[in-house]
Structure 1
Amino acid sequence: MSSSPIALVTGASSGIGQASAISLAAAGWTVIGAARRLDRLEPLRAKGVTPHVLDVSDDRSMVALVDDVIADHGRIDVLVNNAGYSVFGAVEDVPVEVARRQLEVNVLGLSRMSQLVLPHMRAAGSGRIINIASVAGRVSEPLGGWYHASKYAVEALSDAMRMELAPHGVTVSIIEPGAIRTEFGGIAAESLAEYSGSGAYAGQARRMARAHEQMFGSAAADVDVVVDAIVHAATARRPRARYQVPASAKAMVAATKVVPARVMDAAMGRMFGTHRA
């Protein structure tokens, strides 16, 4: 059994999950990095992260992961629920089975992972769950309805869990990244082309894809700002309920509280080129 704190990070094969797993390991944590593809996790061994296969849409896979970690280490101190992906396209265009998969992975997978670790955390009287949501869970864009729906749901579930778990010594923090330099822009562009690249929303989809590629390109914030928030939530004596990073994400969320919906809609339309000519 390890004397160092134990962190389980899902979606650790790339992006935010990979960077946070490496950072926690460098800080002396015992880190289990989980994702669907073991080959993409193997390079993390050299960084002190133990790879483990995980599919958050497969209950047996999730149960096996938690059972293995408990058997090996006796506890889980922090769960970073990072596994997820994005589907973009008009609500009308995205097939319902694709939308269902989006919610299955981003919402139910996160919830089930939390269900599996919580009995161990409650028994210990301590533990932290860190849910990677998004500024997309506070502010909606056009042609992103299903992705936004999944992130809004993560926000609501996290708020409920935070209150439920407070008497048991378990904290829940939400990380709300904004524009971070990752593969997100390219993935969104591909999704937009697939589901709304032709038909009534084709023009909007093309403009939206260009806007996303710019937003998540060189001008976006480095992933380190998100990693710093995750590490703070994992280690601070009193972690925050929410971390909005970078500063532009905090400003956008603040604007929604004071700007009328009609004005916000117009601003989004200009930003993403989806306003009516």
Structure 2
Amino acid sequence: MSNKKVILVTGASSGMGKLSAQDLIKAGHIVYCVARSVDKMKDLEQIGGHVMKMDVTNEADIEAVVAKVIKEQGRIDVLWNNAGYGLYGPVEDLSMEKVQQQFEVNVYGVARLTKAVLPYMREKREGLILNTSSMGGKIYTPLGAWYHATKHAIEGFSDCLRIELKEFNIKVVVLEPGMINTGFTQGVRDNFSFESQNGPYKTVVNAYIKAMENPPMKGSDPKVISNTVLKIINARRPKTRYLVGQGSHFLVGLRRLFGDRVYDALMLRQMR
């Protein structure tokens, strides 16, 4: 790949996706920024980004975006599957409709877009697929069963894909952010099952709401994600995983070193 790469970024309307897209554009790359809300990406367009509407759960949107990039550039060098959100609440209380939507965005959306881009990368026999997982793909937090299930799925999906694509010189990298100061927490609030406050799980639910209001750790500046993405894209041989951000190394290391019982005790202590 040349130094100037054609990059397709999902979830570019906010948070770490938006900031990273800005920095990729400023670095001279050709960046296609996609999300459901085009209005929130006008500033990216003003600095040279190619802005398009795309819902990762919509096959027609995906086909249209990929076709446009190929028509205009003839290739896609980097696909960053970054769109996603967190659904939190007791497993018993959350409707299967909400659960299905969580998987549609966080897992099936990644699969749809990856499948659409792969033929073009295979033809060129080069490319990079960057999948945003989370430290939540290695650990777990109270009330996050469905969210963590999707991130664990992305970890396994990426590992298998990496081996499948080795002969085509297509690299697959997993980005595992820790706590980052983005709109993720607000997204959790927007999708949280507050109706569970008075149900059978009210003890842990109310403790979690309190923890959201006063988080135990301060998140990292999203610039750490932008810097890491640039590092991955510029690397001749990137690592398979990049664990970055506040709390990520501590929590993943804690579980790895001391096992699930100690980790469970820490999580339960946070919910008191």
Q: Normalising to structure 2: TM-score of the pair?
A: 0.95
1:242 and 1:269 map into 2 onto residues whose CA distance is 28
Does the CA-based 8 Å contact 1:192-1:205 persist in structure 2?
Answer: no
| Structure 1 runs not aligned, ≥5 long | none
What are the superposed Cα offsets for residues 191-250 of structure 1, whole Å, 9 maximum, x if unpaired? Answer: 334352331122322221232343388x21000111111111111111110000126302
Partner of 1:137: 137
Percent identity over the alignment? 38
Aligned to 2:168: 168
Q: Which residue of 2 aligns with 1:194?
A: 194
The equivalent of 2:211 in structure 1 is: 211
Amino acid at match of 1:240: K
Matches within 5 A, 1:98-177: 98-177=98-177
- Contact 2:14/2:183 (8 A) holds in 1: no
Q: Which residue in the other structure is 1:8 paired with?
A: 8
1:188–1:212 CA contact under 8 A, matched in 2: no
How far apart, CA to CA, are the structure 1 residues paired with 2:64 and 2:185?
Answer: 33
Q: Taking structure 1 as reference, are residues 178 and 172 closer, same or farther at Cα in structure 2, changes over 3 Å only? A: same
The alpha-carbon deviation at position 42 of structure 1 amounts to 1.6
Q: Deviations over 1:51-81 (max 9, x none)?
A: 0010111111111110110001100000010
> Any stretches of 5+ residues in structure 2 without a counterpart?
none
The 1-side partners of 2:246 and 2:94 are apart by 32
Aligned to 1:63: 63
Q: Check 1:230–1:195 CA distance in 2 against 1; reply closer, same or farther (3 A cut).
A: farther
CA contact (8 A) 1:75 1:121 kept: yes
* Aligned counterparts of 1:215 and 1:226: Cα–Cα separation in 2: 20
User: Does the CA-based 8 Å contact 1:182-1:216 persist in structure 2?
Assistant: no
Question: Which position in structure 2 is the counterpart of 1:95?
Answer: 95
RMSD of the alignment, in Å?
1.7
Aligned to 1:228: 227
Higher RCO, 1 or 2 (CA under 8 Å, sep at least 6)?
2
- In 1, distance between residues paired with 2:240 and 2:229? 12
Contact preservation (8 Å) 1:56, 1:110 = yes
